[in-house]
């Protein structure tokens, strides 16, 4: 080092060494080098890929999406047949992914919050039960849970003719869960309008009640009023119109059930496994969130004379939620991503359908690109929504 | 005053009084922990009802009605299903696990060569245990042996073809062995890559930062199964003619890419909590960037995130089960494969297989999560001021 410093006295080497030791110049050099290497790498890969695709006679581009799919899909939310296009099959897949993810998220949140609160219960037995649940589900691969439900539980259910009769006219057998389908008669839109009116009224009343409580301190039973409005108004409309919604009940035939709609064992096993698996993680997040609220907060609230219900609702939960929401978001995203395990049991989610398309067309690059775009957009939109919710819940500092 | 001697000075502590009656013992515990309020009474009774409903049936299925020995499916099937058990009785088929146990551990690895995976396993355990105990010295050498020398030795031992060992092709590998290889390799590769990515993400060079952010966020945004599909269908496309990739190697690459992105985020978490003074102190000593990171920052940051690294490893260990979807036979894959063995197919075989696989996975993951919790406590006290 010292020798180099001495050498740099001559003007020529001084310029060179100052460039070498200039952090800015070095930074630019490294970045240019990285980009050049990356471009070279991508270019080599692209050349190889193009060559390999030409050799295997595989088309490129997204034109294949307009082609006839030619495969059937077990469960679809929109009209689909094997004559539909690949593009439509992909949409079916996206909808199926979203369906299982949304229902799974709702169930996992409910179970997770209950188990998380149960883990903090003063009741020893309840706390232990919740702990066993969490420790069992957290330490087992979700794929195994899916297989367990699919091959272990759902396929050894009775055959169609000895279906288990469940409440509300549903049946359960090894072909899935048969539930009644609502048939929307004339005037259903009136109920929808009633529901909307109920929601709007609740929001307005909640605002008014909050204002009045701020001004006079008088509380108002917003929750009960809201439930009465949101559930009651459509119900009254329903009765007033003479029950416009009828149900198509599944009817037990000799070998199969007719009517109603069916949730296949693939969907059920995926949904149950994802919900119970993710619920274990959510329970831990909820527990950590509640534990992070200082004890003084609860004690102060008790000292103010709030009841235990109000302490939880007004003091503990709002503070705990701030801690809970960010990791909860990543659990929701994990559940959505784990729904891709559907491919293992043959539920037609976007990965399973993409895989079938890949086998038929061989257009790996395009299909992987589609997967990337679809999952990234789901991730980004969930993240945006949860960030919005997070800022809304965040501490408003003075 | 000086002469006035005190009449009585107590020389020992007063003995502790016993707790008031009713504040100790089983009754007190029951009263406060189980039957404190009417709500608690209801909850406790419900919980007891749940336990009574589930546990006896489970014990009966797992142990009492289970078939422990047998040569084929007859041992586990009822008379109506062509077996020996009385009709209507259902119990776990442990005979199936017993018959297939070696396969579940080694896959189809040749019988006479199974000492090789066992030797690797023994080496792994010998090197791992001192690594896990915080008090054992020479962590650097230990890490070198565990993360660099062991994988190389293990590779030559397992694949053979040199040193007089017969060649064993990777499609024959399977079972728990593959699960462990995948997860260990994944973590070994993801540690250095994760460190580089985390440093890149915090770099001041915009291009490098952007590239690292894009890589990390894209990989974290997509499911592992798509990464594995990518590795298994796209890697062959990327290579020039005539080059092929081993299936296991493709899975290893996919798993490593995936875990590197997660590891990078864990390490970034550690880098973020290192006080700025440490960076400035290193700079003022005249250390170069890499010296600063290697000698000052990373040792502190990595120590802080050891629990996070273990948690990533737990996740990776569970996620390796996904390779069964791309047609490899890890523990879960080989259990699933063996269920279709006609010699053993009974209604209880799948459940038994999954209970067994689940128990193995649970044992590993639970052990690791306990270790992570232990490290968290250990590191916590070290950093208290």
What contacts B154, CB < 8 A, 6 or more positions away? B120, B123, B124, B181
Is residue A3 predicted with pLDDT exceeding 50? no
Residues of A in contact with B369 (CB under 8 A): 138-139
Interface touch B222/A337, C-beta < 8 Å: yes
Q: How many CB pairs under 8 A join A and B?
A: 156
Write down the pLDDT at residue A83.
78
| Tokens encoding A14 | 């001084």
Write down the pLDDT at residue B3.
63
**Nearest Cα residue in chain A from B43:** A126
Listed by number, the residues of chain A in 103-122 with a beta carbon closer than 8 Å to a beta carbon of chain B are 121-122
Do B328 and B186 share a structural domain? yes
What contacts B18, CB < 8 A, 6 or more positions away? none
3-state secondary structure B26-47: HHHHHHHHHCCCHHHHHHHHHH
Do B134 and B201 share a structural domain? no
Left if phi > 0, otherwise alpha if psi is -120 to 50, otherwise beta: which for B327? left
Q: How far apart are CA A70 and CA A83, in angstroms?
A: 6
**φ, ψ dihedrals at B383, nearest 5°:** -105, 5
Q: How far apart are CA B259 and CA B272, in angstroms?
A: 20
Interface touch A144/B361, C-beta < 8 Å: yes
Is residue A104 predicted with pLDDT exceeding 90? yes
Give mean pLDDT, residues A142-148. Answer: 89
Nearest to B120 by CA among B145, B147, B155: B155
Supply the pTM of this predicted model: 0.83
Write down the pLDDT at residue A301.
93
Listed by number, the residues of chain A in 77-96 with a beta carbon closer than 8 Å to a beta carbon of chain B are none
Min Cα–Cα distance to chain A from B370, Å: 11
Do B238 and B141 share a structural domain? no
> Which residue is it, tokens 């050099």?
A29
Q: How far apart are CA B103 and CA A76, in angstroms?
A: 39
Burial class (CB in 10 A: 0-12, 13-18, 19+), A334: middle
Nearest to A162 by CA among A76, A252, A51: A252
pLDDT greater at residue A171 or residue B131: B131
Whether the CB of B171 is below 8 Å from some CB of chain A: the reply is no
Best residue of B38, B180, B224, B225 to probe chain A, by most A CBs closer than 10 Å: B225
Is the C-alpha dihedral spanning A389, A393, A394, A396 positive or negative? positive
> Mean of the per-residue pLDDT values for chain B?
85
Whether the CB of B336 is below 8 Å from some CB of chain A: the reply is yes
Q: How far apart are CA B345 and CA B76, in angstroms?
A: 9
Do B294 and B378 share a structural domain? yes
Give mean pLDDT, residues B381-385. Answer: 49
Confidence of residue B113 (pLDDT cuts 50, 70, 90): confident
Interface touch A340/B226, C-beta < 8 Å: yes
One DSSP character per residue, A137-177 reads HHTS-HHHHHHIIIIIIGGGSPPGGGPEEEGGGEEEETTEE
Other Cβ atoms less than 10 A from the Cβ of A46: the count is 12
Min Cα–Cα distance to chain B from A98, Å: 14
Q: How far is CA B260 from CA A105, A206, B85, B193, B204, in A?
A: 27, 48, 51, 6, 21
Interface touch B324/A344, C-beta < 8 Å: yes
The β-bridge partners of A183 are A246
Are A333 and A101 within 8 A, CB to CB? no
| Tokens encoding A228 | 């009465």
Is residue A191 predicted with pLDDT exceeding 50? yes
Q: How far is CA A234 from CA A47, A204, A329, in A?
A: 62, 18, 33
Nearest CB partner across the interface for A337, out of B211, B223, B238: B223
Are B76 and B67 within 8 A, CB to CB? yes
Q: Is residue B60 part of a domain?
A: no
Nearest CB partner across the interface for B354, out of A121, A138, A148: A148
Is residue A366 predicted with pLDDT exceeding 50? yes
Q: How far apart are CA A98 and CA B324, in angstroms?
A: 24
Q: Helix or strand or coil: residue A167?
A: helix
Min Cα–Cα distance to chain A from B316, Å: 10
Is residue A132 predicted with pLDDT exceeding 90? yes
Q: Is residue B74 part of a domain?
A: no
Do B325 and B257 share a structural domain? yes
Domain parsing of chain A, residue ranges: 2-55, 86-180+249-393, 183-248
Q: How far apart are CA A76 and CA A96, in angstroms?
A: 7
The torsion of the CA quartet B188, B189, B195, B201, rounded to 10 degrees, works out to -150
Do B281 and B378 share a structural domain? yes
Do B251 and B202 share a structural domain? yes
One DSSP character per residue, B167-195 reads P--GGGB-HHHHHHHHHHHHHHHHHHHHH
Listed by number, the residues of chain A in 359-388 with a beta carbon closer than 8 Å to a beta carbon of chain B are 364-365, 368, 371-372, 375-376, 379-380
DSSP type of residue A247: E
> Mean of the per-residue pLDDT values for chain A?
82
Other Cβ atoms less than 10 A from the Cβ of A168: the count is 8
Nearest CB partner across the interface for A147, out of B32, B336, B369: B336
Write down the pLDDT at residue A1.
40
| Tokens encoding A84 | 């539909």
Nearest CB partner across the interface for B361, out of A48, A140, A344: A140
Are B237 and A367 within 8 A, CB to CB? no
Q: Give residue B236's domain range.
A: 176-339+348-382
Interface touch B350/A38, C-beta < 8 Å: no
Is residue B134 predicted with pLDDT exceeding 90? no
Write down the pLDDT at residue A136.
92
Residues of B in contact with A126 (CB under 8 A): 43-44, 47
Is residue B2 predicted with pLDDT exceeding 60? no
**Nearest Cα residue in chain B from A337:** B223
Is the C-alpha dihedral spanning A84, A88, A90, A94 positive or negative? negative
| Tokens encoding A213 | 């409580």
Whether the CB of B26 is below 8 Å from some CB of chain A: the reply is no
What contacts A173, CB < 8 A, 6 or more positions away? A157, A158, A159, A160, A162, A163, A164, A257
Interface touch A351/B366, C-beta < 8 Å: no
Interface touch B47/A379, C-beta < 8 Å: no
> Which residue is it, tokens 């985390």?
B198
Do B237 and B119 share a structural domain? no
Q: How far apart are CA B274 and CA B270, in angstroms?
A: 7
Burial class (CB in 10 A: 0-12, 13-18, 19+), B108: middle
Write down the pLDDT at residue A4.
44
Are B221 and A379 within 8 A, CB to CB? yes
The torsion of the CA quartet A99, A102, A104, A105, rounded to 10 degrees, works out to 170
Are A171 and A250 within 8 A, CB to CB? yes
Distance of CA A48 to the CA centre of its chain: 37
Q: How far apart are CA A320 and CA A286, in angstroms?
A: 8
Q: How far apart are CA A71 and CA A82, in angstroms?
A: 5
Burial class (CB in 10 A: 0-12, 13-18, 19+), B286: exposed
Interface touch B226/A351, C-beta < 8 Å: yes
The β-bridge partners of B67 are B93
| Tokens encoding A309 | 């219900």
Confidence of residue B281 (pLDDT cuts 50, 70, 90): very high
Residues of B in contact with A156 (CB under 8 A): 347, 351
| Tokens encoding A349 | 């989610």
Best residue of B201, B223, B311, B345 to probe chain A, by most A CBs closer than 10 Å: B223
Listed by number, the residues of chain A in 120-179 with a beta carbon closer than 8 Å to a beta carbon of chain B are 121-126, 129, 135-136, 138-144, 147-148, 151-153, 155-156
Q: How far apart are CA B359 and CA B311, in angstroms?
A: 19
Do B331 and B369 share a structural domain? yes
- The three-point CA angle A293-A296-A300 to 5° equals 115
**Domain tally, chain B:** 2
In CATH, the architecture of A86-180+249-393 is Orthogonal Bundle (1.10)
Other Cβ atoms less than 10 A from the Cβ of A184: the count is 12
Q: How far apart are CA B65 and CA B84, in angstroms?
A: 13
pLDDT greater at residue B22 or residue A320: A320
Confidence of residue B381 (pLDDT cuts 50, 70, 90): low
Listed by number, the residues of chain A in 292-321 with a beta carbon closer than 8 Å to a beta carbon of chain B are none
Give mean pLDDT, residues A290-299. Answer: 89
pLDDT greater at residue A8 or residue B320: B320
Write down the pLDDT at residue A253.
66
Q: How far apart are CA B309 and CA A341, in angstroms?
A: 24
Whether the CB of B47 is below 8 Å from some CB of chain A: the reply is yes
Write down the pLDDT at residue A53.
80
Min Cα–Cα distance to chain B from A380, Å: 8
Whether the CB of B163 is below 8 Å from some CB of chain A: the reply is no
Nearest CB partner across the interface for B47, out of A27, A126, A140: A126
Do B151 and B286 share a structural domain? no
**Nearest Cα residue in chain B from A140:** B362
Nearest to B215 by CA among A330, A26, A372: A372
Confidence of residue B285 (pLDDT cuts 50, 70, 90): very high
Other Cβ atoms less than 10 A from the Cβ of A11: the count is 7
| Tokens encoding B231 | 């590795």
Nearest CB partner across the interface for A124, out of B34, B207, B357: B34
Whether the CB of B204 is below 8 Å from some CB of chain A: the reply is yes
The β-bridge partners of A68 are A85
Do B198 and B151 share a structural domain? no
Q: Helix or strand or coil: residue B249?
A: helix
Interface touch B225/A340, C-beta < 8 Å: yes
pLDDT digits (tens, 9 = 90+) for B48-69: 999 999 898 888 888 888 888 8
Confidence of residue B29 (pLDDT cuts 50, 70, 90): confident
Q: How far apart are CA A75 and CA A88, in angstroms?
A: 14
Give mean pLDDT, residues B25-34. Answer: 82
Highest mean pLDDT among A225-239, B83-97, B173-187: B173-187
Best residue of B29, B237, B241, B333 to probe chain A, by most A CBs closer than 10 Å: B237
């Amino acid at each position: 080092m010292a020798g180099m410093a001495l050498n740099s006295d001559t003007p020529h080497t001084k310029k060179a060494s100052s460039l070498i030791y200039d952090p800015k110049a070095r930074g630019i050099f490294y970045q240019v080098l990285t980009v050049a290497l990356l471009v070279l790498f991508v270019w080599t890969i692209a050349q190889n890929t193009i060559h390999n695709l030409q050799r295997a006679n595989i088309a490129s581009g997204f034109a294949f999406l307009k082609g006839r799919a030619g495969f059937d899909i077990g469960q679809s939310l929109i009209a689909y047949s094997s004559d539909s296009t690949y593009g439509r099959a992909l949409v079916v897949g996206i909808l199926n992914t979203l369906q299982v993810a949304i229902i799974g998220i709702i169930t996992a949140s409910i179970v997770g919050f209950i188990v998380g609160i149960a883990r903090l219960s003063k009741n020893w037995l309840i706390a232990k039960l919740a702990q066993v649940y969490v420790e069992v589900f957290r330490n087992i691969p979700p794929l195994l849970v899916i297989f367990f439900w699919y091959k272990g539980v759902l396929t050894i259910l009775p055959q169609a003719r000895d279906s288990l009769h469940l409440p509300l006219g549903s049946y359960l057998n090894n072909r899935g869960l048969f539930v009644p389908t609502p048939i929307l008669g004339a005037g259903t839109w009136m109920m929808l309008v009633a529901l909307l009116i109920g929601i709007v009224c609740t929001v307005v009343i909640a605002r008014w009640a909050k204002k009045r409580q701020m001004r006079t301190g008088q509380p108002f039973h917003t929750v009960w009023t809201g439930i009465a409005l949101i559930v009651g108004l459509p119900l009254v409309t329903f009765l007033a119109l003479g029950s416009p919604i009828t149900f198509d009940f599944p009817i037990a035939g000799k070998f199969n059930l007719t009517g109603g709609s069916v949730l296949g064992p693939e969907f059920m096993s995926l949904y149950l496994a994802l919900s119970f698996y993710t619920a274990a993680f959510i329970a831990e997040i909820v527990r950590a969130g509640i534990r992070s609220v200082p004890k003084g907060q609860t004690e102060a609230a008790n000292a103010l004379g709030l009841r235990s219900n109000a302490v939880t609702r007004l003091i503990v939960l709002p503070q705990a939620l701030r801690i809970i929401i960010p990791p909860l978001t990543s659990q929701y995203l994990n559940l959505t991503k784990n729904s891709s395990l559907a491919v293992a049991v043959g539920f037609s989610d976007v990965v399973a359908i993409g895989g079938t398309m890949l086998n038929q067309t061989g257009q790996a690059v395009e299909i992987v690109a589609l997967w990337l775009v679809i999952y990234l957009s789901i991730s980004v939109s969930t993240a945006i929504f949860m960030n919005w919710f997070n800022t809304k819940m965040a501490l408003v500092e003075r | 005053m000086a002469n006035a001697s005190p009449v009585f000075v107590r020389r020992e502590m007063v003995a502790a009084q016993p707790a008031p009656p009713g504040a100790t013992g089983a009754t007190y515990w029951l009263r406060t922990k189980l039957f404190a309020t009417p709500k608690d009474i209801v909850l406790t009774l419900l919980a007891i009802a749940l336990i009574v409903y589930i546990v006896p049936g489970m014990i009966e299925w797992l142990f009492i009605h289970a078939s422990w020995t047998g040569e084929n499916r007859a041992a586990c099937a009822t008379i109506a299903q062509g077996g020996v058990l009385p009709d209507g009785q259902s119990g776990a088929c442990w005979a199936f696990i017993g018959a297939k146990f070696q396969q579940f551990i080694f896959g189809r690895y040749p019988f006479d060569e199974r000492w090789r995976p066992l030797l690797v396993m023994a080496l792994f355990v010998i090197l791992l245990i001192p690594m896990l105990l915080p008090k054992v010295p020479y962590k650097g050498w230990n890490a070198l042996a565990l993360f660099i020398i062991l994988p190389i030795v293990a590779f030559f031992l397992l694949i053979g073809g040199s040193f007089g060992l017969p060649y064993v092709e990777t499609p024959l590998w399977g079972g728990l062995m593959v699960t462990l290889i995948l997860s260990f390799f994944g973590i070994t590769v993801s540690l250095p890559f994760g460190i580089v990515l985390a440093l890149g993400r915090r770099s001041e060079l915009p291009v490098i930062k952007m590239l690292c952010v894009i890589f990390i966020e894209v990989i974290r945004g997509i499911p592992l199964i798509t990464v594995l599909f990518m590795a298994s269908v796209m890697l062959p496309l990327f290579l020039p003619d005539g080059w092929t990739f081993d299936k296991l190697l493709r899975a290893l690459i996919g798993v490593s890419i995936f875990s590197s992105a997660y590891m990078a985020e864990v390490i970034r978490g550690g880098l973020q909590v290192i006080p700025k003074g440490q960076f400035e102190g290193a700079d003022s000593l005249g250390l170069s960037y890499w010296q600063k990171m290697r000698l000052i920052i990373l040792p502190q940051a990595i120590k802080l995130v050891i629990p996070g690294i273990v948690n990533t490893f737990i996740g990776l260990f569970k996620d390796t089960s996904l390779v069964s979807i791309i047609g490899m036979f890890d523990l879960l894959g080989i259990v699933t494969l063996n269920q279709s063995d006609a010699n053993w197919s009974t209604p209880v075989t799948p459940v038994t297989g999954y209970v067994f696989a689940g128990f193995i996975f649970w044992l590993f993951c639970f052990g690791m999560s306990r270790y992570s919790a232990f490290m968290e406590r250990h590191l916590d006290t070290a950093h208290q001021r």
